[in-house]
Structure 1
């Protein structure tokens, strides 16, 4: 199966751009007052919006980013990395605070935790986003609002999503994990936004938490009723599923050696969105999302994915299962 790489609809990604510092191979979090050595560390571009934007640009997609960085070395690095990747950075403004930064402690099995300084992540306003969509994003037919809980607390997501819909865009939404965990108010805030979302993109833990369900299949059924189109649940090694009011699709993951899993969900989003932008069937979009995420977590090139590796995964024997569809 050879992927058609022609460009079609451009994508606008709204969210956070920051620096990630990855401390690798930590099996146990050290206690207060103690110290722990690591095998290696890496400092690189991070943030949900920036990660997805670089992957999409690497796939050959026209992509815009709307985010804020600081007037500092890290902000300059982020802007330069995004520009070099081919991302349209006209919507990347310079804020008053320092560029946001996340410290990631990574276990050998790929699990991780984050400690984050938000900095300029909280500076992108609703008015700025709406203005950009109206004035600068006429070529964009898809909007991804991502890293929601790492954006300013007063962000009016409903207004942004509704405005994008009025402009004729498909809307996609990825919340991430809330800073204060999933209380009832947070769940209600998210479920009230879903009627304005075409495709919701939680991982399995987030889906279960939002829906208060014990497994992601039940959670997807509940959440899909609220969305304009459907829910995609990212399941890590288990691949991904799509659920809407009439059908369920499943696409299995891939056997790959894991370098680190930071940005895996953002990379999946990019692959899925690329497929949508090309007008592909949803089953094929799921498969591409899985393959792109697998490529990113297994290669030193990180978010700068190559089509040769994607084709190798899609056509090879590393898939853990086959794509299936069930009509409900």
Structure 2
């Protein structure tokens, strides 16, 4: 019997604008190359990538019953992953606008909508009853912040789940309670998936490698630091160290690459693959996604770009 996988997190509408290297002048109208609209937040991105890989799973999250939410729900249902989505009457759907430009880190403008009030208490109890549970988009769900997520992850662990967490960027730029909240969760985790800026901000370290060591000392399981076009660095609970370079691709859309890496990694773990092999698949999925546009986003296993020879 195939192990079960549940994805819990922020489902929303994503708007991607590129290239944007400055805001328009007051009253102005800058013309750029691309604006794309697509589902579906960090959790939705993971779910759609898993569906393309042929990995059975369930997705738990909430959207409003506005036009954006209805469209996101329709798209998820079209890919067979929206059965557990909570469509909340009278609420607006969360929306993020990603501003991308060559040579600079992406920036986001976000309205959380229904996710401001959607908390752990609204999540079905069975959402954490699975062999693998991923919580993603922690900082995009204000209603999940703090003790609620701690209790949720503890409940998943007690039910025997392999527990994974991807927080995303703290909208307070790590100046408030965000870092302390995340660090408190690390002893509950079998897998922690920060990207490089998040890992450095969390720890105050000078480099991703130093941050990895600090986080691994606190986490009960694996810490995987996503390094973008440079691949990843990982540290295991027994001191294992893994560094993987990413295949070279021509980037077309980098938003959601980290979510795709998580999907590839989990898709292989569910199949019983060792972590080393699962990490390779994660990097391949992320690299493939980066090289595709929004209309043809998520690859099947047969479409994954090959890894470069070591």
1:221-240 to 2 correspondences below 5 Å: 221-240=213-232
Shift of 1:18: 1.0
Measured in 2, the distance between the counterparts of 1:9 and 1:303 equals: 26
Measured in 2, the distance between the counterparts of 1:142 and 1:175 equals: 17
- Other-structure match for 1:4: none
- Other-structure match for 1:151: 141
Gapped runs of 5+ residues in structure 1? 1-6, 323-328
1:79-94 to 2 correspondences below 5 Å: 79-94=73-88
Q: Report the CA distance shift for 1:216/1:108 in structure 2 as closer, same or farther (over 3 A).
A: closer
1:304 matched to 2:298: yes
Q: Give TM-score, length-normalised by structure 2.
A: 0.92
Query: Does the 8 Å CA contact 1:267/1:303 hold for their aligned counterparts?
Result: no
More moved, 21-30 vs 245-254: 21-30
Query: Does the 8 Å CA contact 1:95/1:120 hold for their aligned counterparts?
Result: no
- Other-structure match for 1:120: 114
* Paired residue secondary structure (2:220): coil
- Other-structure match for 2:257: 264
Shift of 1:31: 4.5
- Other-structure match for 2:243: 250
Pick the aligned partner of 1:204 from 193, 196, 201. 196
- Other-structure match for 1:173: 165
Equivalent residue pairs, number:
306
Shift of 1:133: 2.3
Measured in 1, the distance between the counterparts of 2:53 and 2:88 equals: 27
Q: Give TM-score, length-normalised by structure 1.
A: 0.87
- Other-structure match for 1:23: 17
Measured in 1, the distance between the counterparts of 2:42 and 2:253 equals: 15
Measured in 1, the distance between the counterparts of 2:85 and 2:98 equals: 27
Shift of 1:194: 0.6
Query: Does the 8 Å CA contact 1:233/1:242 hold for their aligned counterparts?
Result: yes
Measured in 2, the distance between the counterparts of 1:95 and 1:10 equals: 30
Query: Does the 8 Å CA contact 1:148/1:174 hold for their aligned counterparts?
Result: yes
Any idea what the Cα deviations from partners look like across 1:149-186, whole Å, max 9, x if unmatched?
A: 11024541100100111111111001100111112632
